Amino acid sequence: MARVLVDFDAAVAPHRRELLVHCYRMLGSPFDAEDALQETFVRAWRAADRYDAERASVRTWLYRIATNVCLSALASRRGRPLPSGVGELFEDPDAPFVPGAEVPWLVPMPVDPAVAASERGRLRLALIAALQLLPARQRAVLLLREALELPAAEVADSLEMTTAAVNSALQRARARLGQARIALDDVAPPAAEQRAVVDRYVSAFERADVPAITALLAEEVILEMPPMWNWYAGVPAYAGFMRRVYRTRGTRWDATPVWANGEAGFAAYLDGRPHSVQLLTVSHGRVVRASVFADPVVFGLFDLPAER
């Protein structure tokens, strides 16, 4: 006799946050993730009278539903990348901007820096971007096997695959992340450590002090700015691009701190008006990636003033 859910809301509520994170890691957009989460709860509610606690915990049952909701959403498109993952490197920092409106780009997810370092680590921008480059079923297998630690046979049953296919997909997914030097279970650096570096960067940014900015950069630093295809690598190109910014846009910049994807950043204002949300990936006291989101939709994700 199946043991059904007696109080559906009470049973699913404790899993809401982690399911949202799971959907975000699958889909690369907090908007899409929220839609997928709501669809997950609708499907779960409709199937609640068939839930059997002897076959799976509520948590595992919900993850299975959420994963299949995400796979359905991905049936007509691939994941949401960042320019550095799919586009050609730009060598000239003065090259014209190339809009990429045809691409559904990765959208950052606001995260309270007070949450556990493990959760912030699961949302690192580089990890989310790398996951988006995996085929959808590889992505699902990797997350279910390594994040949820489901046995291969259970994952196979959930995704209507053979166990051999699950093991093969997992091996390929691990290899792809390994090539990108991304570990699924890395924790984020301490929040205070990140913010200290970003605060120094912001101070230099507001002063239009390019030498001070570049002094904070790692040699292999990446600069990208979706929805533009333009992206750059290395300190000289980064410095050249920042000189271009101040030369063409002026030096009247202000900033408000933000947190997203477990990383410190800031909302940049130009002449008092919203310009971009900039997330800085910090490692060993240096900025290794700057992701500049110029889409106004991203500004709406944060509780930010309309002007400075």
The 10s digit of each residue's pLDDT in 245-261 is: 999 999 999 999 999 99
Q: What angle do CA 122, 126, 130 make, to 5 degrees?
A: 90
Q: Name the one residue in this structure whose structure tokens are 């799971």.
A: 22
- At 267, which helix (H) or strand (E)? strand 263-270
Predicted local confidence at residue 117, as pLDDT:
81
Average pLDDT estimate for 24-42: 97
Locate 124 and state its tokens.
């690192």
Distance CA 154, CA 166 (A): 10
Cα–Cα dist 181/127, whole Å: 10
Q: Are 61 and 150 in contact (CB under 8 A)?
A: no
Q: Name the amino acid, one letter, at 177.
A: L
3-state secondary structure of 271: coil
Specify the pLDDT at position 2: 47
Question: Please, what is the average pLDDT of the chain?
Answer: 93
Peptide bond connecting 227 to the previous residue in cis, omega within 30 degrees of 0: yes
- 198 membership: H or E segment, kind and range: helix 191-206
**β-bridge mates for residue 265, sequence order:** 258, 279
With CA atoms as reference, report the closest residue to 199 among 287, 270, 305. 287
Please report the domains of the chain, with CATH numbers, ordered by start residue: 8-79+136-179 (1.20.140.160), 80-133+188-308 (3.10.450.50)
- What are 111-151's pLDDT values in tens digits? 988 888 888 888 999 999 999 999 999 999 999 998 788 99
pTM for the full predicted model:
0.94
3-class DSSP state of 276: strand
